[in-house]
Amino acid sequence: MANKIIPKKIIKDILIVVVGVLAIWIGLQVVFGTENPFYVVASGSMIPVLEVYDVLIVQGHDPFEEVEIGDIIVFNRPSDHNRVIVHRVVSIIDENPKTIRTQGDANPASIPGTDFPISEEEYIGKVVYTLPQVGYITQLLKPPTNYIIIAIVIGVMIIKQMMGKKKERKITDLDFQDSLDSENTDIKEELSDINEIEKDSEYVKSDTFDVSSNEAPVSDESVDTKTDDSKKEE
C-alpha cells in the first residue's frame, strides 16, 4: 500500500512544480511581450558593455518604429534567421519601411547579412536590463548535467517520502502500544472492582435479613433444634 502511495505523492509534487514553472513563464511572456524574455550573451562582440554569460532581459512591447540609434536590441540574423544576435543600433538605413544597421561594440565594422539590413520582421525586442554572469547557470542545464540534477532531485523526493512514511508508521505503532497498555490497565482495575463487589455481596447475603418481614435469618442449628423438639412430642 505504501509503495503505491509514494509514487502518487511524487508525481503530484512534480506536477505542482511543472505547473508553477509554466505559469511563471507564461506570465513573463505576457509582461515582456516576447516568446523568450531572457537571452544569454554567447560571444564577446559587445564587450565591455555585455560580457559572455550575462543574462539579458528583453522588452518586446517596445515597437520597432521607436527604436533609436544607440539602443541595444535583440534580433534574428537577417540572412537566415537561424541565430539570435544582440548588437547596438548604429544607423537608420531607411524610414519607409524602417530598416536599421547594427554593430557589436567590440567589432571593427558592421557585418552584412548579420548586422544589416534589420527590419521589423527580424526585430525581437530591446534590452532593458542585464544580469551579470548569471548565464553560467545555463551551463548546468545542458546534457548530461541537467539529467543528473533531475535524477538527484527526484531521488531526494523519494527518500523524503519514504522516511516520512517510516516515521509515520513508527508513531502509529507507539500509539497502538500505548493504547494496549492503557486498555490492560483499565481491565485490571475493572477486575479489581468486580472482586470487591463479589466479596461485599457474599457478606450481605450471609449477614443481612429481610427488613420487611422483620425476621432474622435462621441458622442451621435452630432448624435442627426445632426438629428434635417435634420428634419428642410425637
Indicate whether 160 belongs to any domain: yes
Q: Both 131 and 37 in a single domain?
A: yes
C-alpha cell, 10:
511524487
Indicate whether 7 belongs to any domain: no
Q: Both 121 and 60 in a single domain?
A: yes
Q: What pLDDT is attached to residue 226?
A: 47
The pLDDT tens digits for 18-54 are 888 888 889 888 988 888 888 989 899 999 999 999 9
Q: Which residue has the cell 557585418?
A: 111
Which CATH number characterizes residue 74's domain? 2.10.109.10
Q: Both 102 and 51 in a single domain?
A: yes
The answer to whether the predicted template modeling score (pTM) of the entire model surpasses 0.75 is no
Give the integer Cα–Cα distance in Å for 62 and 146.
Answer: 34
Q: What pLDDT is attached to residue 233?
A: 44
Give the integer Cα–Cα distance in Å for 126 and 64.
Answer: 9
Q: How confident is the model at residue 167 (pLDDT cuts 50, 70, 90)?
A: low
The pLDDT tens digits for 93-146 are 999 999 999 999 999 999 999 999 999 999 999 999 999 988 887 766 766 666
Range of the domain at 58: 33-135
Q: Both 146 and 160 in a single domain?
A: yes
Indicate whether 71 belongs to any domain: yes
Measured between alpha carbons, how far is residue 179 from residues 7, 127, 171, 172, 189 in Å?
32, 67, 12, 10, 15
Measured distance between the N- and C-terminal CA atoms of the chain, rounded to whole angstroms: 90
Range in 75-79, 156-160, 166-170, 206-210 with the lowest mean pLDDT: 206-210
